[in-house]
Structure 1
Amino acid sequence: MGTDIYGHVECLPTHRRLDEEDVSGWRRAVDLDLLYGGRCYDAFGCLFGVRNHAGFRPLAADRGLPGDVSAEVLSAYESWGPSAYGASWIGWAELARVDWDELGERVDARVHAFSRAGAWVLTGKGFWDPEDRPEGSEWLQDGRLFRRARTSRRDAVQTDGAWEPLWATMRTLAEIHGEEHVRLVVWFDG
Structure 2
Amino acid sequence: MGTDISGFVECRAWHLHKEDEDWRAAIDLFFLNTTRNYDAFGCLFGVRNYANFRPLAADRGLPAGASETVRAELERLAQWYGPDQAYGTTWITWAEIKEVDWDEPAEKADSRLHEYRQTPDGLRLTGKAAWSPRFAQAVGLQPGEDREWPEGTEWLIGDTLYRSEKIRRRDAVPATGEWKSVWTVMEALAAQHGDDNVRLVVWFDN
TM-score after normalising by structure 1: 0.92
- In the TM superposition, residue 150 of structure 1 has moved relative to its aligned partner by 0.9
Aligned partner of 2:52 among 51, 55, 73: 55
Aligned partner of 1:177 among 193, 199, 203: 193
Q: Please give the secondary structure, in 1, of the residue aligned with 2:59.
A: coil
- In the TM superposition, residue 23 of structure 1 has moved relative to its aligned partner by 4.7
Which deviates the most, 29-38 or 76-85? 76-85
Q: Please give the alpha-carbon distance, in whole angstroms, between the structure 2 residues aligned to 1:178 and 1:64.
A: 23
> Could you tell me which residue of structure 2 aligns to residue 142 of structure 1?
158
Aligned partner of 1:99 among 98, 101, 113: 101
Structure 1: gaps (5+ residues): none
**Pairing 1:4-43 to 2, within 5 Å after superposition:** 4-14=4-14, 17-18=16-17, 23-43=20-40
Deviation track 1:47-104 (CA, whole Å, cap 9, x = no partner) reads 1111111111111110001121001111112222121100000001001100111111
- In the TM superposition, residue 183 of structure 1 has moved relative to its aligned partner by 0.4
- Judge conservation of contact 1:159–1:167 (CA < 8 Å) in 2: no
Q: Please give the alpha-carbon distance, in whole angstroms, between the structure 2 residues aligned to 1:143 and 1:39.
A: 29
Q: Please give the alpha-carbon distance, in whole angstroms, between the structure 2 residues aligned to 1:123 and 1:174.
A: 38
Q: Please give the alpha-carbon distance, in whole angstroms, between the structure 2 residues aligned to 1:113 and 1:42.
A: 16
Q: Please give the alpha-carbon distance, in whole angstroms, between the structure 2 residues aligned to 1:78 and 1:28.
A: 15
> Could you tell me which residue of structure 2 aligns to residue 126 of structure 1?
129
Q: Please give the alpha-carbon distance, in whole angstroms, between the structure 2 residues aligned to 1:173 and 1:122.
A: 37
- Judge conservation of contact 2:33–2:179 (CA < 8 Å) in 1: yes
- In the TM superposition, residue 123 of structure 1 has moved relative to its aligned partner by 2.4
Q: Please give the alpha-carbon distance, in whole angstroms, between the structure 1 residues aligned to 2:34 and 2:40.
A: 13
Deviation track 1:145-185 (CA, whole Å, cap 9, x = no partner) reads 22101111111111211111111111111112111111000
Cα root mean square deviation, aligned: 1.6
Structure 2: gaps (5+ residues): 140-146
Q: Please give the secondary structure, in 2, of the residue aligned with 1:79.
A: helix
Larger Cα Rg: Structure 1 or Structure 2? Answer: 2
Q: Please give the alpha-carbon distance, in whole angstroms, between the structure 2 residues aligned to 1:25 and 1:12.
A: 6
> Could you tell me which residue of structure 2 aligns to residue 85 of structure 1?
87
- Judge conservation of contact 2:113–2:165 (CA < 8 Å) in 1: yes
> Could you tell me which residue of structure 1 aligns to residue 176 of structure 2?
160
Deviation track 1:2-22 (CA, whole Å, cap 9, x = no partner) reads 11110000011245x14xx56
TM-score after normalising by structure 2: 0.85
Q: Please give the secondary structure, in 2, of the residue aligned with 1:159.
A: coil
Which deviates the most, 21-30 or 153-162? 21-30
Q: Please give the alpha-carbon distance, in whole angstroms, between the structure 2 residues aligned to 1:116 and 1:73.
A: 47
